[in-house]
Amino acid sequence: MLPQELIRLKREGQPLPASEIKAFIQGIADDRISDAQIGAFTMAVFLNGMSREEVVALTTATRDSGHVMQWDALNLPGPIVDKHSTGGVGDLVSLVLGPWVAACGAFVPMISGRGLGHTGGTLDKLESIPGYDPYPAPERFGQVVKSTGVAIIGQTGNLAPADKRIYGVRDVTATVESIPLITASILGKKLASGLDALVMDVKVGSGAFMPSEEKSHELAKSIASVATQAGTPTTALLTDMSQPLANCAGNAVEIVETLALLRGERADSRVMQVTRELAVEMLIAGKLVANRDESLSRLDKALTSGAAAEIFARMVRELGGPSDFMERSNDYLAKAAVIKPVYPTASGTVQRIDTRAVGMSVVELGGGRLRNDANIDHSVGFSDIVELGTKVDGEQPLAFVHARTEAEAERAAEQLRSAMTIGDGEATLDVLLQHTYRGEAL
């Protein structure tokens, strides 16, 4: 079928054969399909949607448009599992989760990304660590996964290459907010990692990627079903992003918090509650445990014994970072020139946080990118951010700002004050874990 005929069918709301979707996506990877045709196709999908069968076909075609990792030759003595998040502010889950699950016997080849918009990027955080190489050769990547149990790296050019072109066109044609296209984009890259199981973290709230709670539910259900029907059993959790997940937002400041969490500190914090739930699902999905209680027991042992922290340290060392990073992280991580408390203008209870605004303030400080090719400052951000429901006054700051100059610190402080609603009475707290969707195979 000619590309224009496939576009016409979707424009008219007709079903697309799986074989034609596959040929179209391969044509994108091979540069036989033009950007204009990609734009017309994505707009037709945006307007008319896709059936579940079509989204499965689009996802598998995207996955197969480049290299699909094969792990059989390494004879790994455990399941290959991974997690993906729609992103947020203070979301350092991957940094703790990967080593923690690996310490329980799983193998985690985690392909992560850089910051996008107001959301922080796992790779940006890891690059706070001097020498850490997020783009090792494929052979080295496999070796680190086998020897360490986890390797967190960036996407290479030959992994789901069709998605890179499609996403670039969607970004400039107002077709980003399409559940079928989002599903295929996320899963095309993740399933190319050759996983035995996947757990998805879909955010809800003022810092979430999706514009509404309804859309977040729709995306979670789509991802769980499509991935499972594509051959990778997947569970999707809906978790709260109505406030920064950790008590910090930035790059180096989040690495500091990661190390504290891996040492077993603040075990009942919000970020650890979410990380623990995702870890439970990963161990169950990987068939390493029979039930939730067994999973929690194994995770607790891996954390309190120091095994999870040791695996993180080994991953850093194997990917080029300092061999003594866990012991001397304070000597290696960049520190901002200006660190000062941000006090509220009035006393009261923190009743609402515009989490997206907090993330954008970190970007403006230099901790994120306004352009794809921009450098970032790993030292800036916020630490000790208060949670919803906290009583604040002239002695209890909203957070500490980390900035390059006094002027930038003051501007960020004003932005943080504006992002927080202070009032009388108690705050209404959202449920941290809202729902779990489990995919069903065809």
Q: From the candidates 114, 118, 190, 270, which is the catalytic residue? A: 190
CA dist., res. 229 & res. 441, Å (int): 5
190 catalytic? Reply is yes
Phi, psi of 403, rounded to the nearest 5 degrees: -140, 170
Q: From the candidates 62, 122, 193, 228, which is the catalytic residue? A: 122
Q: Which of 361, 437, 418 is nearest to 201 (CA)?
A: 437
Q: From the candidates 10, 63, 84, 298, which is the catalytic residue? A: 84
- All residues at 6 or more sequence positions from 324 whose CB lies less than 8 Å from its CB, including other chains: none
8-state DSSP, 365: I
Residue 34 token pair? 């033009």
CB atoms within 10 A of CB 156: 17
Residue 242 token pair? 């109505």
Q: Which residues does residue 80 pair with via DSSP β-bridges, in sequence order?
A: 107
**Helical (H) or strand (E) element with 349:** strand 348-353
Q: Which of 69, 67, 70, 56 is nearest to 29 (CA)?
A: 67
Residue 355 token pair? 């989490």
185 catalytic? Reply is yes
CB atoms within 10 A of CB 136: 18
- Which SS3 state, helix, strand or coil, does residue 417 take? helix
Q: From the candidates 114, 125, 189, 378, which is the catalytic residue? A: 189
Q: From the candidates 10, 164, 170, 221, which is the catalytic residue? A: 170
270 catalytic? Reply is no
Say if residues 105 and 78 touch (Cβ distance below 8 Å).
yes
CB atoms within 10 A of CB 39: 18
CA dist., res. 402 & res. 21, Å (int): 48
8-state DSSP, 84: E
Our CA angle for 81, 432, 367, nearest 5°, is 75
Dihedral of alpha carbons 54, 58, 64, 65, sign: positive
CA dist., res. 81 & res. 68, Å (int): 15
Query: 218 to each of 179, 236, 238, 442, how far by Cα in Å?
Result: 8, 11, 10, 19
Q: From the candidates 64, 82, 124, 377, which is the catalytic residue? A: 82
189 catalytic? Reply is yes
CA dist., res. 10 & res. 26, Å (int): 18
CA dist., res. 209 & res. 216, Å (int): 8
Q: From the candidates 65, 185, 355, 379, which is the catalytic residue? A: 185
Q: For residue 280, which amino acid is it?
A: V
Longest dimension (CA), the chain: 69
Q: Which of 351, 349, 338, 343 is nearest to 416 (CA)?
A: 343
203 catalytic? Reply is no
Active site members:
82-85, 122, 170, 185, 189-190
